[in-house]
């Protein structure tokens, strides 16, 4: 089925706002086994909108329109949709009542121009928006079904998942239940993961229905299984053996699944054992603390962060006496042990980094040393050589430090080589 | 003049990559007084590309095509451009020689499929790419001039500024020299800045040629002056009085101009006086350190960062004895003074934050207290109430802390109210 995405609005057209709604919609379509075949962007302009609707109608069977449903005069989607469909705008009484109620509950009078948001093309199918004042709707223009969605990202996302995608799947004749299973890993590059997971889709059984995909967000890799079936039981039956095999093959490198994160998993593991954490950093300078401390799971767990630009100043900040020496696993462990003692945390993580000399460049390397001091004398002292320039090494060092701690807390080996490391 | 932007590639079409090239191109057009009237996205697909070229040719006078110039089989832009223009592909010998030289200098053999990148539509105008192997080119399809640019962002950006925009300005009959002047401010919202700067464009003189615009990146606001003239001297003559007036009206709230940043200005001011810096943080937990420490200007200036979740633990980490008390300007100053003494830095900044009770929500408020201990007993103790939820307060607190330090170092008042503050 040919599906197009049509984004409207001057903010998007002029580049003032980056069009993340487009990429979200396109990605979600891929994840349920559909795909976008064309994207169009036009501004808040009657003639351009009308031309865009007609051209999309001539090419596609379904069109997702985003934006232009607001209360102001430059929001034109309903009006131009009616014109393109050759019908009038009519008041959708139930939505007007819902909006009035929405304002009443907030003890505010509904501004008169909000009434415009309840004017839909005659005969349009109403599509609910449980969290905003811009309802969606669907109309047929030419040979294509147009689905109109609000520009506010969280309203669009919910409407897309709950309302639009089920309708598109029904139109396409595809079984109606989909599920996206995600694995987040650290230490495996996309091409190696692709090789490691060769053939896993076949485990879904003879009917297929599970599609493997990747999204790289260095230093993490996201592995996605998009599963489809007639009902939830079939989806689960197809997905389970594939997911189990992905877990087996990527093994210790999986740091989290679905909406979970490395930081969340690690803080959760600490919290589960009544543990607490302090962090000492050099090149990452506050970056590790800034990833952990703001999370709700960090409350009562994250106790202290210390950052300094070199080992001598870090030792000074940690109250360690004597010469600094070189960045080494032993120095990292000494820093962690001192921080653990000073902060009273059950676990202290130290991430030391020594960049190679010379200016920043793509070939620049660095040595990262991770030290962890934990309960009952549990320790980690790990060294890794990373390449790829200052920023790349900084990102890799933070991830390696967090991952070593996750591995220690999960009873996994902390010295497994990662793909980004040069031995 | 009607200009369209046509982005190609499966990564963009499927949403795997967010289309920041589109927004960059559209924004740059606006900044030189042109504008995009339509955006199209298609994948690496012959039929879709051909249809997109023809449809854009029918609507526009100029089309900027991005992507599809690479060496692999799925890069189709040259081939489909030739087809749409009704000509053959011919080898551009000088570009082939440049590519061979490019590889020779790196001591590598040119892979055979790179030859494809020197095949251009017959009669095409060659457009140089000084930093990559994908050259640009221009051809006429129907009534429109098509400009082909590489998908690699830095190559596209340079080609756009140096080659495409001058050609578009010449086509549009606009004077050929443009300049964009930017001011970064903290503490003034977009709508108030708009009021404060009412009428400044008129100072460019009777010929006009300076356009005022804003881009909000909370907590900072970017104020842009897009100037145009027959030559550099005319641009400068028009821009100078407007820029001077913007500087006068926004005054102390301007933290940096053009490519400079608040962090860079502040570190530069410290460096100029041989100063050094240490930072203590609560809610921002490493976030301020992580903004400063990675910058080249921080080398030898940033000495220490300390983060803790509450005042009691922060005081402990700073070696302060006795009860914690409440977050207050005095407590912030005490923290800064202790940190200055312990770290040996010439300046210490403490940013303390107390969130109001209750769960995170848009109305959640917090109290931010800034303490600075500097040379010769210079001190700052500033308090501000911010609203807008946890993340909003975190961002505002970091900015307020950095801005107070900038103001102290520049001899400006540190207690001027900001728009985000509730008194």
- Note whether B229 and B271 are same-domain residues: no
Structure tokens at B368: 């931010």
Of B260, B338, B265, B334, the C-alpha closest to B301 is B265
Q: In the listed set A206, A223, A257, which residue is the last one of a domain according to the structure?
A: A257
Chain A residues within an 8 Å CB radius of B40:
38-41
pLDDT, one tens digit per residue, over A39-54 is: 999 999 999 999 999 9
Q: A with B: how many residue pairs have Cβ under 8 Å apart?
A: 187
Q: Are residues A136 and A97 in the same domain?
A: yes
Element (H, E) at A77: helix A77-85
Both A181 and A167 in a single domain? no
Integer Cα distance of A250 and A227 in angstroms: 19
In the predicted model, residues of chain B with pLDDT beneath 70 are 175, 323-324, 423
- Give A113-173 as a DSSP string: GGGGGGEEETTPEEE--TTSS--EEEEEETTEEEEEE-SSHHHHHHHIIIIIHHHHHHHHT
Q: What is d(CA A226, CA B224) in angstroms, rounded to the nearest whole number?
A: 44
Mutate to test the interface with A, among B218, B267, B284, B286 (most CBs of A within 10 A): B286
Beta bridge partners of B304: B278
Same domain membership, residue A133 and residue A7: yes
My answer on whether A159 and A29 are in the same domain is: yes
CB within 8 Å: A42 and B38: yes
CA distance A15 to B35: 10
Long-range contacts of B316-320 (CB under 8 A, 24+ apart): B317/A304, B317/A306, B317/A342, B317/A343, B317/B280, B318/B280, B318/B342
**What are the chain B neighbours of A59 within 8 Å (beta carbons)?**
51
Residue A228: the pLDDT is 87
Task: Return the structure tokens found at A317.
Answer: 């900040």
- Please report which confidence band the pLDDT of residue A175 belongs to, taking 50, 70 and 90 as the band edges: low
Q: Are residues B155 and B182 in the same domain?
A: no
Distance CA A138, CA A147 (A): 5
User: Does A343 lie in the same domain as A381?
Assistant: yes
- CA Rg value for chain B: 27
Q: How distant is the Cα of B340 from the closest Cα of chain A, in angstroms?
A: 12
Q: Which residue has the tokens 């590309």?
A: B49
- DSSP string covering A31-50: HTT--EEEEEEE-S-HHHHH
Closest partner residue to A13 (CB to CB) among B39, B287, B308 is: B39
The Cα–Cα gap between A205 and B144 comes to 52
Residue B96, domain member (yes or no): yes
B222 and B294 co-located in one domain: no
Q: Which of B105, B114, B24 is nearest to B69 (CA)?
A: B114
Count of the separate structural domains present in chain A: 3
Same domain for B151 and B197, yes or no, is no
Look at residue B420 and tell me if it is in a domain: no
Q: State the pairing for strand pair B144-149/B62-66.
A: parallel
Asked if the Cβ–Cβ distance from B14 to A27 is below 8 Å, we say yes
Amino acid B107: pLDDT: 83
CA–CA separation, B75 and B152 (whole Å): 13
Per-residue pLDDT at B175: 67
Contact A173, A230 (CB under 8 A): no
DSSP A18: -
Tokens, residue A263:
């930081």
For residue A349, being part of any structural domain is answered with: yes
Look at residue A58 and tell me whether its pLDDT is greater than 70.
yes
Contact at CB, A24 and B15, closer than 8 angstroms:
yes
Closest to A168 in 3D by CA, of A117, A116, A120, A127: A127
> Residue A395: which CATH number?
3.90.950.20
Smallest CA-to-CA distance from A282 within B290, B281, B119 is with B290
Residues B205, B299 within the same domain = no
- The neighbour count for residue A247, using CB atoms within 10 Å, is 12
Gyration radius (Cα) of chain A, Å: 27
| Dist CA B380 CA B416 (whole Å) | 12
On whether residue A325 sits in a domain, the answer given is yes
For A108, the domain range is 3-172
Mean pLDDT for the stretch of residues A367-396: 92
Q: Measuring CA to CA, which residue among B185, B179, B178, B180 is closest to residue B247?
A: B185
Winning range, highest mean pLDDT, from A29-33, A358-362, B412-416: B412-416
Q: B interface mutation test: which of A5, A23, A47 has the most B CBs within 10 A? A: A23
Quote the CA–CA distance of B227 and B201 in Å, as a whole number. 10
A64 is written with which tokens? 């997702």
Report d(CA A120, CA A101) in Å as an integer: 19
Does residue B241 share a domain with residue B295?
Answer: no
| Residue A418 falls inside a structural domain | no
Would residue B69 count as lying in a domain?
A: yes
Q: Is residue A251 part of a domain?
A: yes
Hey, what are A287's tokens? 């970056």
Backbone angles phi, psi at A187, to 5 degrees: 115, -5
Q: Report the C-alpha gap between B226 and A192 in whole angstroms.
A: 48
Q: Of B137, B154, B171, which marks where a domain is finished?
A: B171
Compute the mean pLDDT over every residue in chain A, rounded to the nearest whole number.
94
Q: What is the mean pLDDT of residues A239-268?
A: 97
Strands A302-307 and A277-281: what pairing?
parallel
Query: pLDDT digits over A205-239, tens only?
Result: 998 989 998 888 889 999 999 998 888 999 999 99
CB contact under 8 A, A304 and B308: yes
Closest CA to B280 of B262, B305, B312, B317: B305
Q: How far is A181 from chain B (nearest CA, A)?
A: 17
Q: Decide if A305 and B285 are in contact by the 8 Å CB cutoff.
A: yes
Is B48 contained in some domain? yes
Interatomic CA distance for residues B69 and B159, integer angstroms: 13
Give Cα separations from A345 to A85, A288, A409 (angstroms): 66, 16, 15
What's A129's domain CATH number? Answer: 3.40.980.10
Alpha-helical runs (H) found in B232-368: 232-250, 262-272, 287-292, 311-317, 329-343
Which residues are CB-neighbours of B248 under 8 A, at least 6 positions away? none
- Average pLDDT of the residues in A163-169: 95
Order of strands across the sheet that contains A277-281: A379-387, A365-373, A347-355, A277-281, A302-307, B302-307, B277-281, B347-355, B365-373, B379-387
Minimum Cα–Cα distance from A282: chain B residue: B293
Give backbone dihedrals phi and psi of A29, rounded to 5 degrees, phi first.
-60, -45
CB B382 within 8 A of CB B358: no
User: What is the enclosing helix (H) or strand (E) of A178?
Assistant: strand A177-186
pLDDT greater than 90 at residue A163: yes
Residue B103 CA: distances (Å) to CA of B100, B106, B133, B172: 5, 5, 10, 38
Show which of A120, A143, A172 is a domain's final residue.
Answer: A172
State how far the Cα of A338 lies from the Cα of A350, in Å rounded to an integer: 10
Amino acid B112: pLDDT: 86
Put simply, the answer to whether A35 touches B41 (Cβ < 8 Å) is no
Is the same domain home to B118 and B235?
no
pLDDT at residue A109, as a whole number: 86
- Asked if the Cβ–Cβ distance from A293 to B309 is below 8 Å, we say yes
* Residue B129 or residue A362, greater confidence: B129
**Strands, DSSP E only, in B67-111?**
89-91
């Amino acid at each position: 089925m040919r599906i197009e995405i049509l984004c409207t609005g001057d903010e998007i057209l002029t580049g003032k706002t980056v069009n993340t709604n487009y990429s979200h919609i396109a990605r979600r379509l891929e994840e349920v086994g559909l795909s976008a075949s064309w994207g169009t962007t036009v501004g808040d302009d009657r003639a351009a909108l009308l031309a865009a609707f007609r051209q999309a109608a001539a090419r596609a069977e379904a069109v997702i329109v985003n934006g232009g449903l607001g209360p102001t005069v430059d929001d034109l989607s309903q009006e131009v949709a009616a014109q393109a469909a050759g019908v009038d705008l009519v008041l959708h009484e139930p939505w007007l009542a819902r909006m009035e109620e929405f304002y009443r509950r907030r003890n505010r009078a509904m501004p008169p121009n909000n009434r415009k948001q309840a004017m839909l093309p005659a005969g349009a199918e109403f599509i609910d928006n449980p969290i905003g004042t811009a309802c969606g709707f669907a109309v047929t223009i030419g040979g294509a079904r147009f689905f109109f969605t609000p520009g506010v990202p969280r309203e669009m996302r919910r409407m897309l998942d709950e309302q639009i995608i089920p309708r598109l799947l029904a139109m396409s004749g595809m079984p109606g239940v989909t599920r996206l299973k995600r694995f987040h890993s650290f230490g495996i590059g996309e091409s190696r993961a692709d090789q490691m997971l060769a053939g896993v889709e076949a485990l879904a059984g003879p009917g297929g229905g599970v599609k493997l995909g990747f999204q790289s967000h260095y230093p993490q890799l996201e592995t996605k299984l998009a599963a489809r079936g007639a009902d939830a039981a079939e989806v689960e039956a197809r997905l389970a053996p594939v997911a189990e095999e992905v877990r087996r093959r990527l093994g210790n490198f999986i740091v989290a699944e679905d909406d979970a994160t490395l930081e969340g998993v690690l803080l959760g593991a600490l919290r589960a054992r009544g543990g607490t954490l302090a962090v000492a950093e050099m090149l990452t300078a506050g970056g590790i603390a800034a990833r952990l401390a703001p999370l709700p799971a960090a409350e009562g767990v994250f106790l202290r962060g210390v950052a300094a630009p070199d080992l001598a100043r870090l030792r000074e900040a940690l109250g360690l006496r004597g010469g600094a020496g070189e960045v080494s696993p032993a120095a990292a462990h000494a820093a962690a042990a001192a921080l653990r003692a000073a902060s009273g945390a059950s676990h202290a993580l130290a991430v030391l980094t020594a960049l190679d000399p010379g200016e920043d460049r793509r070939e620049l390397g660095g040595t990262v040393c991770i030290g962890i001091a934990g309960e009952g004398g549990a320790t980690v002292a790990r060294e890794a050589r990373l390449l790829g320039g200052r920023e790349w090494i900084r990102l890799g060092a933070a991830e390696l430090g967090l991952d070593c701690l996750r591995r220690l807390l999960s009873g996994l080996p902390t010295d497994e080589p990662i793909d980004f490391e040069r031995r």
